[in-house]
Each structure stands twice: as structure tokens, then as C-alpha cells.
Structure 1
Amino acid sequence: MNIPLPPGNILQQMYLKERLRSLKCGEFIEVGCGQGYISKLLLDLGWRGTGYDLNPSVVKKATHLNQAAIDQCQYNVNNEDWFSANQDSKVDLVISCLVLEHLDDFKESCYFNKCRQMLKPGGRMILFVPGSPKHWGIEDEIAGHYRRYTSSDMQQKLEQFNFSQIHLAGLTYPLSNWLLPLSNFLVEKAEQKKLKSTIQQRTQASGDRRVLFKTSFPFLLKLILNEAVMYPFYLLQKSNLNHPYALILYAEAKL
């Protein structure tokens, strides 16, 4: 079933599709694939690849969502740690959506180094990470985040690990900022007990959260939670790509 996605996710995916139109399709790895929506976007555009996630329940959902591609040997999804996975062939793209902020400083360095190891010459790395450290809040704590990023933070990381920056952009502004007080209220009401868990447990659970009107929506809301209705907000997003308070940072780089 084509379930409604949160408005911020819709805006992010719309932007990703626009960026991918300039790339030749090839092989990808999605790190922390969650329920498989980004992988499906890539597969629908003609890519083929592999998803990795530590949470077995979301791996089942990603498998179900992308079963047709799996049956056609265009995709596979693995319930294992990408850092220790044995994948010999290099790929054209490594992508992750809201993963890097879950890694401590050492693992964050390992991530960039593993990307360098797995990418073909000229291959791309695409990252979605939380932006605007000013907006650190309850959801960061509950989801098991270590940090939010500024554009300068990301630029320094790319330089440190010898990636050539292609594009940086702030996404979901201003819509996500308008919705943030409601979002924080819903998250605190539904998930505050998760703060008693370890940060590792919160990270593993972050890909399968069920917060009504935040991460899950009644099916009828598909009438408004779709790309056509969201298009005016997409235009607003595009006119504010450099806004320092954008809650999502998009980074694209190559070897």
C-alpha cells in the first residue's frame, strides 16, 4: 500500500529526484535503508543496488516494499552492519538518509573512509543529515543523535576525507520549521520513555518509529501528503536552500 509519508520526507525525496536526473544510473548502496523508500526511489529511476539496516523489522518492510526489484535481481537488503559487511564490488553511489548523526566521532570517520573504499573513481556520496544545531531538541535525544550539522561542518568533513564537494543545500525550510513545535509535542508525548534506553537502542529503533501525525498518518491524508499538493512548499524550499535554519542538510560529493 502506498502509505502517506511525512511532509519533510516528501520534500527531501522531491529534491533527491531532481538531483539524480543529472546522474547516469548505476549501482548503489543505501546505508541505513530503513523501510526502503529511498532505495525504491532509486530503483524506480533505473538504479540497482543493496540496502543495509541493523533493525530486522524495517528490513522486512524494505523487502516487502521492494519485492519486485528483489525478484528481478535488481536489489537486495541485508540485516547487517555495513561497516563489517563483505561486499567486494565497488559502486557508483553510496547514499544515506539521517544516518551519520547516529554515529559517534570514530564511527563517523569510519563512514567516510568506507565510502572512499566502496566508491568507484568519480563515484558519488549523498548524505541527508539534520541541520541547524540551534534546533537541537527532544527528537534528537529520542532518536539517538550525536550532533546536527552546519554547512561549514559538512564542508570541513568533506575536505578532511578528500571528497570533492558538488552540492550542499538546506532542505524542508520553512515548512518543517513551522511544524516543529507540533512535532516536538507529538514526539515527547509518544516517545519520552525511549530516553531510558541506551543511545544504541534508540538508534536501532529510529528507523521504525510510530508517532501518529509525525511519522505515520491515516491513509486518507494521502490526499494532501503528496508531491502535487506539496509542490508550493517545494518551491519555497528551493528558494531557501542556503538558509542556516533549514532542518535538513543535503550533501553531495565525489571522489
Structure 2
Amino acid sequence: MNNNEIWDVTWEKIEVDGPRPFLEYKMSLLKPFLETDSPKHVLDVGCGDGFFTLKLLNLGYKVDATDVSPEAIKATERRIKRNNAPNINLYNENLLELNPPHKYDVIICLEVLEHIEDDLRVLKLFNSWLKKEGLLILSVPHRQDMWNYTDEIGGHYRRYSKEDLKNKLESAEFKVEDVFDYGFPIIRFFANRLCAPAEKMQKSKINPPKNNFLSRTASTIIQNACKIDTLFINKDHGIDIIAVSKKI
């Protein structure tokens, strides 16, 4: 099974409303940059099963979303439908072939850039799709020395240092407003000590969350435990980087 097939099967089998404690924590870090007094138009790049797509809709954004996986688009449609959210524009296209019909106030691209060989080319495309002073919000995996089986099975080309990401954003004519690492010690423990070995054992990334009482209870406990990670933000131990940049 190749990387694209693994992701297609993952999105096909995912239980849309299952608890997602790590994504909920990430959303808490992103929310201050996304809160707005007036409706804005956002492009959700690599929307996956639509978790963040729905969050953006609930924040009052007009949302377009794209993913290269047809099963991801179907999963996003299921999430939107089950939550009675407004209709959105969905694009099942490769980023390099996408031609948006308009420019955006915000582009959000979470855990996607590492999957793309020519990441600088994509950053320049994002710049061209944004309105003047539009915002680009990225998250990428941090530190090449943390490379593990999850990166291999996920089809990653690289992990990033904060300096490398800043340099690439500046080369694509963005002004970096904020960049920080997060996800230590709780998220890093789960990712490196539990998730990566489990995925290696089953030789796939297919581990959809269940939506039952036990899973929801465990999710609440883990989500609260993640608050410990807030004490260590930008200490260079985090497993992920968030970068917020403005089009120059």
C-alpha cells in the first residue's frame, strides 16, 4: 500500500465525530490568530476529514477547502452534513493544479507542507492566492532529529527547524508575525512513544478514533493533560511548529 492509498483508507474509515484531543489543543493555539469581528474568506488546505474546516465555519468564516484525497473530501462532506454547517466549496485537487476563483483573507495549511517536495513553490502559490496583507497560518513537524516511522508512513519529505521555515516564508515574500514550537512533553510522548510504534507494528496509519464513552472520557483527560505543554511552548522541545505570516 503506497502513501496515497494509506491516506485514502484512513479518511474512508475515520469516524467523523470521534474525539480528537490533540487537534482540540492545536485549535486552542490557533484560535487567537483566527478570531475576527467581520466575516472573512479562508482556504483550508489539506482539509483531511474537515475537523478544522468545521471549526472555521463555527468561527464565522466563509470557507473553501481542498484535499488531494477524494476520501478526505467525502469525510469533510460527512462532517459538514452531520453538523448542519453551511455549504462550502470543496476542491479535490493537487495543490499545484488548483486555480482558486478568488483571493483569500486567510489560508490555513496544517501538516501539509512536509508532504510536498517543492515546498517553496507552494508557499509562493499561497502568496499569490492571498489578498493584500492576507494571513498564512501553517503548522509543520518540528526538528529533523525527531524523524520516526510516522514521517515515513505519512510520506513526509522533511521536518522543519523554525529558522528554516522562517527563511522559506521570507523567500516567498511573507512577513513572519509569529513562529513557535509546541507539543512537549505530553503530545511528544504520545506521538513518539505510543503512536509511532503502534503504526509501525500495523504497518499503516489507519487508526481512526472511536466515539464511545471510554474514548470520550480518555479524550477529556488527554486534552486537559495537554495544557501542561503550554508551559513549554517555544522551548525548542515541541513536536510541531506553528507559523503565522502576512503577505507583504
TM over 0.5: yes
Q: Normalising TM by the smaller chain, what interval?
A: 0.7 to 0.9
Equivalent residue pairs, number? 230
**Do the aligned residues in 1 keep the contact of 2:45 with 2:107 (CA within 8 Å)?**
yes
Alpha-carbon shift at residue 218 of structure 1 (Å): 4.9
* Matched residue, 2:10: none
Give CA deviations for 1:102-139 in whole Å, capped at 9, x if unaligned: 011x2x12211111111000100011100122110111
**Secondary structure in structure 1 of the residue aligned to 2:196:** helix
Q: Give the residue type in structure 1 aligned to 2:236.
A: P
* Matched residue, 2:163: 152
Q: Distance in 1 between matches of 2:67 and 2:48?
A: 6
Q: Sort the Cα spacing of 1:237 and 1:95 in 2 relative to 1 into closer, same or farther, 3 A.
A: same
Is residue 183 of structure 1 aligned with residue 195 of structure 2?
Answer: yes
Q: Distance in 2 between matches of 1:69 and 1:117?
A: 32
**Secondary structure in structure 1 of the residue aligned to 2:47:** coil
Alpha-carbon shift at residue 21 of structure 1 (Å): 2.4
What pairs up with 1:45-124 in 2 under 5 angstroms? 45-67=59-81, 72-73=86-87, 75-104=88-117, 106=118, 108-124=119-135
Q: Distance in 1 between matches of 2:178 and 2:193?
A: 29
**Secondary structure in structure 2 of the residue aligned to 1:245:** coil
For normalisation by structure 2, the TM-score amounts to 0.85
Q: Sort the Cα spacing of 1:142 and 1:98 in 2 relative to 1 into closer, same or farther, 3 A.
A: same
Q: Distance in 2 between matches of 1:240 and 1:82?
A: 34
**Secondary structure in structure 1 of the residue aligned to 2:96:** helix
Q: Distance in 2 between matches of 1:142 and 1:232?
A: 27
Q: Unpaired segments of 5 or more residues in structure 1?
A: 193-208
For normalisation by structure 1, the TM-score amounts to 0.83
Q: What is the percentage of aligned positions where both structures have the same residue?
A: 24
**Do the aligned residues in 2 keep the contact of 1:95 with 1:127 (CA within 8 Å)?**
yes
* Matched residue, 1:37: 51
RMSD: 2.1
Q: 1:242 aligns with which of 208, 211, 234?
A: 234
Q: Distance in 2 between matches of 1:85 and 1:147?
A: 23
Q: Unpaired segments of 5 or more residues in structure 2?
A: 1-15
Q: Give the residue type in structure 2 aligned to 1:239.
A: L
Q: Give the residue type in structure 2 aligned to 1:242.
A: N
Give CA deviations for 1:87-115 in whole Å, capped at 9, x if unaligned: 221000111111000011x2x12211111
Q: Distance in 2 between matches of 1:132 and 1:219?
A: 35
Q: Distance in 1 between matches of 2:71 and 2:139?
A: 22
Give CA deviations for 1:36-78 in whole Å, capped at 9, x if unaligned: 11111100000012111111111111011113789744x1212
The runs of 4+ residues in structure 1 deviating greater than 6 Å are: 68-71
